[in-house]
Structure 1
Amino acid sequence: MPVLTEVLNLKMYINGDWVQAEDGKVNDIINPANGELIAKAPTGGLSETRQAIGAARRTFDSGEWSELPTVERAQYLRAIADKLDEKAEEIALLETLDQGKPLNESEIDVADAAACFRYYAGMITQPDGQTFHVADPMQAMVVREPVGVCALIVPWNFPLLMSVWKIAPALAAGNTIVFKPSEVTPVSAMKLFEILEEVGLPKGVANMVLGPGRVVGNELAESDLVDKVSFTGGTETGRNIMKAAAGNIKKISLELGGKSPNIVFADADIETAIDCTLIGIFFNQGEVCSAGSRLLLEESIHDEFIERLVERAQKIVVGQGKDRETEMGPLVSKQHLEKVLSYIEIGKQEGARLVCGGNRITENGFDKGYFVEPTIFVDTNPDMRIVQEEIFGPVLVVQKFKTEAEAIELANGTAFGLAAGVFTQDGAKGLRVIKKMRAGITWVNNYGPTYNEAPWGGYKQSGIGRGLGTFGLDEFMEVKQININLNVEPVGWYKN
C-alpha cells in the first residue's frame, strides 16, 4: 500500500493550467481520524471562477469537444477509466485519509468511478434520436445536443464517486465543465483532474475551482455564461442555487437531503433485515444522503429486533479508515462532529430513549479524531426533530407501527423523499408498499445498492432531476426537433 509521506500542495485546474489562488489564500485539509494535516488547498474566489467559466465557454463554443464524434469522446472516457484502475490503490488511500471512510469502501468507490466512465462511453456510441412519419411532405426528427457549459458542485461524503457521477455524463454528452469539489475533501478531485490532463483532454473542456460555496458556488449558479448547474448537497443550499440560477433560467439538477424510511414487517427474514439495517445507517459513518436513518418496525417484533440490532451495532469496529479491520471510520470534520453530537443531545431532550452509543469516542488514541459510536434511539414520535431532520451521521431513529397503512403514513411523513426500503417475505405486500412510497430510490429485502444503469434522485425536498443511467445523460443534453420539407415549393397559403 502507498504511504503519504508529505503534505500535498493542491492546485486548481483552469484552461489546462494548474494554478494557485491569486491572493495566495490556502485551506488546510485535515485527516479526520487523527487531526493531522494532509494537504493545503488554494481558496479560489470570483476571479478564478470567472476565468474557469470563460475557458469553458470559449471551448464549448469552439466545438472542439462538443462536435467531436462520439466514438472519439468515448475513447477519452475509457482512457480515464483505465487510469483510475491503474492508480486505484493510491486514490483509495487518499480518499480515506481525506474523508475518513474505511479503506475497503474507498476501494469500491474508485472501482465504481471507473465503471461509470466506461458505462457512459458505451452509452454515447449507441443509436440515438427519433424520426416521425408526419404529414407529407415533411419529415420530422429529434436529436440530442449538449447543454453547453455545466457547473458541477459536489459534497464531501463521496468525494470521488459523486464527482464522477456528474463529470462522466457531462463530458460524454459533449459539454464543457467547471467543477467545484467540497472545500473539506478536495484531494481525490485533484487526482482525477490529473488523470484528465494525462489522457489529453483538450484545454478548457474540464476546469476545477476550489473555494467556498458562498463565493464559487454562487458565482457558478448566477453566471449567464453557465447553461446548467448540477448540485448535490444540503436542501437549504439547493434552494439558494435555484434562486441564483433563475437569472438566465439555466437548467438545474439538485440531489438534496434525505430522511429515508426502512420498513420491516413481522414476516421479514429478520437476519437479513438486521444486516441491511446496519449497512443502511452505519455505512460511510451514516454520511449518506440515502441512509436508512428511520427504522420502522412492526410492533410485534420491535423488542426482539432492537435487542439483536443493538448487539450487532455494538460489535462494529470503529477506527482509522486506513486500518483493514475498521468497519466504521470518523466523521468528516470537527464541525460535522459537533452537529451530530448536538442532534444526539436533542434526541435525549425530546424524550427519545437511547439504547446504543450516543458518545464521542476519545479513548485508545482516538482523542484527536472525530469518532462517534453507532447510535440508536427508540421510543420516538413523528414530531421529534431527530425523526424529521437529516442528521447525516451514524444515528438511527426507530418508529413502531401496527398496520401496513400506518407504516406507509409514517414512512411518507417527512419533507424528504430520496430513498426507502421494505422487508417482507410477502412479495405482493412488498411491491404494494413500495408503490406508495414517495421516494425515488427503493429496495425490497435490501438497502443501499446503487447501479450506474439505474436513475438516482428523489421526490419532494430531496431534489429535482435524476443522475446515472440514461436519465443522467439526458440531464446534460437538450432535445431539438428538426423538420425537413421534402417538397421544396411554395405552400400557397396566401392567395396573393
Structure 2
Amino acid sequence: MTTAEYVDYLIAAASGDGTLPDVGNFYGNEFHSPDENDYLFSEDPALGLPWAKIADSTVSDAEKAISAAVEAFPAWSATSVTVRAALLNKVADILEPLSYKLAVLESKDQGKTITTAKEVDIPRCLHNFRAFGTSILNHTSTSTIQSEPISALNIVTHDAVGPAVLICPWNLPLYLLSFKLAPALACGNTVIAKPSEMTSVTASVLAVAFKEAGAPPGVVNFIFGRGQTVGDYLVKSPAVKLVSFTGSTAVGKQIAIAAATTNKKVSLEMGGKNAAVVFPSVDIPDTVATLARSCFANQGEICLCTERLYVHADIYDTFLDQFVRETRKWQVGDPKDAKSRVGALISQPHFEKVNSYFKLAKSTKNAVVHCGGPVQLPELQKGYFFAPTVVSNVADDSKLLTEEIFGPFVVVSPFKTTEEVIRKANSGNYGLSASILSQNIDEVTTVARALKVGTVWANCWMVRDLRMPFGGTKESGSGRDGTAGDSLDFYSEKKTICIKFGQA
C-alpha cells in the first residue's frame, strides 16, 4: 500500500464511514497486531467519540521493535550521509502532495483546527525532514594539526550512538516527531518512536512513508500504547542507547532517573510557564494581536504558549481592555470550519484540568475573570471546547501563576520597574521561553539577558530558525536541538582520532 492509499483509507474513516481503522505496531517494515491483540480507542476531541483503534502494546511488542532496531543498526550506521539525506528528502517529497489530507487527520486526532494543522504542523514537518537532510550533508568536524610535542593530525568523527527511543507528546504530533526522527536518522541511528497513545494515527502514516521511501527494515520502528507500560520498558532497555523525550516535567524526571541506570544519552524538553513582558513603548493594537496568538494558538496546547502576561503599569488598563476585546474575537468552533480559531482540547481529563484552574480563578478572592470558560457547541455537544480565558488581579504565589495549565488561559499582571518584572518572570520552576514587547532596544537587551529561559522572542512569538539552539532551563528540560550542531551532537558520539606524522 502506498502512503497516498493509506492516507485515503484513514480519510474515509475520518469522514465517518463507520470504519474504525486499526493502527498496529510497525517494525521490520511491516505493521503487526499487538501480541495480546488489545487496542486503545483514539478519540476525536471535537466529537468526544472514538474514531480509530491504537495498539495497546506490551513488553513483548516493545522487545520485537528493539530487536529490529538492533539488527538494523550496524548496516544503517555504516551508510553514507548522502544516503541518509536522500531518505529524509524522499519522505518529505512523498508527504507534501498529501499535506491537506494530513492536516485533516491531525485535526481529527488532536482537536486542533484544520487551519492550524495546514499552516503550522504539516509545513514544519516537511521542513524538519528537509532541513536536517541538508544539514547533515554540510556538517563539518573539528580538525587540527599540531607540531608539539610531536607532529600529528587530530580529527573528530561523529559516530552513530545506537538504537534511539523517541517519545513524543500529543499536542504537535507530526511536527515534534519529525523534529526527532530527522536528526536521529541523519546521524545513522535506528529508531523506535513512541508517540502519545492519544495521537498516534499520523505517526502510522510516517511509517508507511519511510517504507515507500526505501528505508531498510528495522531502521524506523513505531511502538504504540501506554507510556507506563511500553514507554518505561523502552527507556530502561540496555539495548537502547539514547532517549529523546518531549512532554511533562513529571514524566521527564522519571525518564531521567530510569535512563541513568544504563547511562544513556538523554534529552528532555518539558513543561513551561512562559512569561511575556510589555513595555509602554509598544503599539498596543499590534501587540495584543501578537500576544493573543502566543496565548491561544493550538488551544494554548503548545509548550511555548504564554501563560503569564506582565504589562507596565503606565499602559496596564488600556492594554488589558484591548487584550480582552481581542481575545473575544477568537472564535471557538468545529475544527473543520475555516472560521474557527480555537478547536477542542485533547481529552476529557485535560478539559477537566483546564476547567479546574478556571474554577479556581472564579473562586479566588479579588481575582477578575474577564472572559473564557467551558463552551458547549450545539452541533458538537460532547466535544471538549474551552474559550480563551483572561484573568487579572491574581497574587504572585497563586497556582494560576505558578503551575502549567496548558490550555487557552492567561493571567495578566502589572509591573512598575524593569527589576520587578525580571524577578517576576524568573520566579517559578520553569524556564522554557519568554517574550519581550518593546520599541526600546535597551529594555529588550537588558531583560533578554536577565531572563533564565532557553528562548527569548522580542516583538514576535514562535519565530523558529532550525539553525538556532532550542531547549529549556530549570525544570523545562536539558539539552538543545537545532541543525547547527546541537541535534547532530546529541544524536552522535564525538570521537577524537590522533594520527602521528612521520616515522615512529
The CA deviation string for residues 319-370 of structure 1, in whole angstroms up to 9 with x for no partner, is 1211111111010111100111011112333336233334211142232100
In structure 1, stretches of 5+ residues that fail to align are 490-496
1:488 positional shift: 4.2
Per the alignment, residue 250 of structure 1 pairs with 264
Matches within 5 A, 1:339-488: 339-351=353-365, 353-470=367-484, 471-488=486-503
Per the alignment, residue 41 of structure 2 pairs with 28
Partners of 2:274 and 2:256 in 1: CA distance: 23
1:139 positional shift: 1.6
Partners of 1:195 and 1:411 in 2: CA distance: 43
1:127 positional shift: 4.8
Q: Is the 8 A contact 2:431 2:476 kept in 1?
A: yes
Distance 1:301 1:148, change over 3 A: same
Partners of 1:356 and 1:171 in 2: CA distance: 48
1:35 positional shift: 1.7
462-471 or 245-254, larger mean C-alpha shift: 462-471
In structure 2, stretches of 5+ residues that fail to align are 1-7
Matches within 5 A, 1:280-291: 280-291=294-305
Q: Secondary structure at the match of 1:482?
A: strand
1:222 positional shift: 0.7
Q: 1:201 aligns with which of 199, 202, 215?
A: 215
Partners of 1:363 and 1:159 in 2: CA distance: 26
Per the alignment, residue 187 of structure 1 pairs with 201
Q: Secondary structure at the match of 1:30?
A: strand
Q: Secondary structure at the match of 1:288?
A: coil
Per the alignment, residue 492 of structure 1 pairs with none
Per the alignment, residue 59 of structure 1 pairs with 72
The CA deviation string for residues 25-78 of structure 1, in whole angstroms up to 9 with x for no partner, is 111111100123221111011111111111111211x2x211111111111111
Q: Secondary structure at the match of 1:273?
A: helix
410-419 or 307-316, larger mean C-alpha shift: 307-316
Partners of 1:252 and 1:352 in 2: CA distance: 44
The CA deviation string for residues 124-183 of structure 1, in whole angstroms up to 9 with x for no partner, is 111521211222232211111111111000000001101001001101111000100000
Per the alignment, residue 103 of structure 1 pairs with 114
The CA deviation string for residues 210-245 of structure 1, in whole angstroms up to 9 with x for no partner, is 011111111111111111100000001011001100
Give the TM-score taking structure 2 as reference length. Answer: 0.94
Per the alignment, residue 494 of structure 1 pairs with none
Partners of 2:24 and 2:366 in 1: CA distance: 46
The CA deviation string for residues 444-491 of structure 1, in whole angstroms up to 9 with x for no partner, is 1112222322222111110001123221222111110001122342xx
Partners of 1:455 and 1:131 in 2: CA distance: 23
Per the alignment, residue 14 of structure 1 pairs with 27
Q: Is the 8 A contact 2:300 2:409 kept in 1?
A: yes
Q: Is the 8 A contact 1:452 1:469 kept in 2?
A: yes
Matches within 5 A, 1:153-192: 153-192=167-206
Per the alignment, residue 5 of structure 2 pairs with none
Q: Is the 8 A contact 1:129 1:141 kept in 2?
A: yes
Partners of 2:480 and 2:333 in 1: CA distance: 34
1:170 partner amino acid:
A
Q: Secondary structure at the match of 1:142?
A: strand
The CA deviation string for residues 62-97 of structure 1, in whole angstroms up to 9 with x for no partner, is 2x2111111111111110010110211211100001
1:34 partner amino acid:
L
Correspondence 1:115 to 2:130: no
251-260 or 426-435, larger mean C-alpha shift: 426-435
Per the alignment, residue 82 of structure 1 pairs with 93
Per the alignment, residue 222 of structure 1 pairs with 236
1:405 positional shift: 0.6
Partners of 2:92 and 2:219 in 1: CA distance: 17
Per the alignment, residue 42 of structure 1 pairs with 55
2:25 partner amino acid:
M
344-353 or 379-388, larger mean C-alpha shift: 344-353
Partners of 2:373 and 2:306 in 1: CA distance: 20
377-386 or 466-475, larger mean C-alpha shift: 466-475
How many residue pairs match? The answer is 487
Give the TM-score taking structure 1 as reference length. Answer: 0.96
1:22 positional shift: 0.8
Q: Is the 8 A contact 1:263 1:422 kept in 2?
A: yes
2:502 partner amino acid:
N
Q: Is the 8 A contact 1:42 1:211 kept in 2?
A: yes
Partners of 2:23 and 2:201 in 1: CA distance: 7
Matches within 5 A, 1:108-147: 108-134=120-146, 135=148, 136-147=150-161
Partners of 1:462 and 1:369 in 2: CA distance: 30
1:110 partner amino acid:
I
Partners of 2:368 and 2:221 in 1: CA distance: 47
Partners of 2:103 and 2:203 in 1: CA distance: 12
Q: Is the 8 A contact 1:350 1:384 kept in 2?
A: no
Q: Secondary structure at the match of 2:261?
A: helix
Distance 1:75 1:216, change over 3 A: same
92-101 or 461-470, larger mean C-alpha shift: 461-470
The alignment yields a C-alpha RMSD, in angstroms, of 1.4
Partners of 2:480 and 2:364 in 1: CA distance: 36
1:124 partner amino acid:
I
Partners of 2:431 and 2:24 in 1: CA distance: 37
Distance 1:352 1:68, change over 3 A: farther
1:49 partner amino acid:
A
2:85 partner amino acid:
A
1:139 partner amino acid:
L
Partners of 2:192 and 2:392 in 1: CA distance: 44
Partners of 2:463 and 2:370 in 1: CA distance: 26
